[in-house]
Amino acid sequence: MYGKIGLEEHFSFNDTIEDSNGFLDPVIWPELKNRLMDFNSKRLHFMDEFGMEMMILSLNAPAIQAIPNISRAIEIAKRSNDLLAEQVNKKPDRFHAMAALPMQDPEAASNELRRCVNDLGFCGALVNGFSQIETEESAVYLDLKQYWPFWQIVQELNVPFYLHPRNPLPSMSQIYDGHPWLLGPTWAFGQETAVHALRLMCSGLFDQYPDINIILGHMGEGLPYSMWRIDNRNSWVKAPPKYPAKKKIADYFTANFHITTSGNFRTQTLIDAILEISSDRILFSSDYPFESVEEAAIWFDNASISEPDRIKIGRTNAIKLFNLSI
């Protein structure tokens, strides 16, 4: 399929590049670093060869969210967004952008999102999970009331918000002791992000701001396959929910969330996701350069789904959600 749009596609620059060092074998690091910092060479080559018309680019992880110093987080976020805007403006037919935001300061994050959308022409934001604020041992999540004025701005601007994974802090990762291979995309990314998303659903946030659109990668971080159990555990007891939100969790998942295929290239998983959340809320992504555009595209182009669903997931859902003019 030609014309695919990918929206979990990463870049980096000098201030954040080392955050990605260690995710792959050290032998691979020079190549991964090169791909993260490249806009015009290998990236475009892979896009052209495998039918990807556009990448919606975002900063690597954890980046801004792992900077406890608030003023520096604000500074690096602005610097990253300015650099990305410069690159996108060189090839607006091939690239679009999601903002990096200093969530350490909700007001500064709101202002930066406004600037990126209104002045730089960005089409959304991507934030790497919880933020560390003032100390490296803090983990502050986005369902907290201090962030609700920020979420109001997200709704007013009508742009999607991508909740991207990061590892839990070492002090909160005892379950992974002795099993470091479970960290990162193998397992810890999904678990951490799924709980964060559930916190948002349970908080009442979407009762207050019902038009917010959240995107989860990696086929929904495992959530599509747990929705029934989350809402129906011990149902014979008929006890009322203990969370503040007014509806069932699945109602928020199907009304306020979208998922992407990033880094999860399995047809059975995609079909399950279609049955749970519908093909209208699934979007193609490759997770470049941590994953391969080639593998993502060849799998997706040949997946056993209907052609109308392929076109929606591969292209038109992104055009609609991000209000793209292509």
Q: What CATH number does residue 21 fall under?
A: 3.20.20.140
User: Residue for token digits 């809402």?
Assistant: 231
72 vs 104: CA distance, rounded Å: 10
106, 109, 111, 112 alpha-carbon torsion, rounded to 10°: 170
Note down the domain range covering 197. 4-322
The tokens for 133 are 């604020």
What's this model's pTM, rounded to 2 decimal places? 0.97
CB 97 within 8 A of CB 162: no
Compute CA distances 312 → 152, 307, 308, 321, whole Å: 28, 9, 6, 11
Instruction: Report the C-alpha gap between 313 and 260 in whole angstroms.
Output: 9
How far apart CA 98 and CA 117 sit, in angstroms, is 9
Catalytic residue among 15, 19, 143, 287: 287
Structure-block tokens of residue 8: 């979990």
Count of structural domains within the chain: 1
| Structural tokens at position 264 | 């999860």
Positive or negative torsion for Cα 223, 254, 294, 82: negative
Q: Are 56 and 9 in contact (CB under 8 A)?
A: yes
- Tens digit of pLDDT per residue, the chain (326 long)? 999 999 999 999 999 999 999 888 899 999 999 999 999 999 999 999 999 999 999 999 999 999 999 999 999 999 999 999 999 999 999 999 999 999 999 999 999 999 999 999 999 999 999 999 999 999 999 999 999 999 999 999 999 999 999 999 999 999 999 999 999 999 999 999 999 999 999 999 999 999 999 999 999 999 999 999 999 988 888 888 899 999 999 999 999 999 999 999 999 999 999 999 999 999 999 999 999 999 999 999 999 999 999 999 999 999 999 999 98
User: Hunting for tokens 């292209």 — which residue is that?
Assistant: 315
Cis peptide before 289 (omega within 30 of 0): yes
Active site includes 309? no
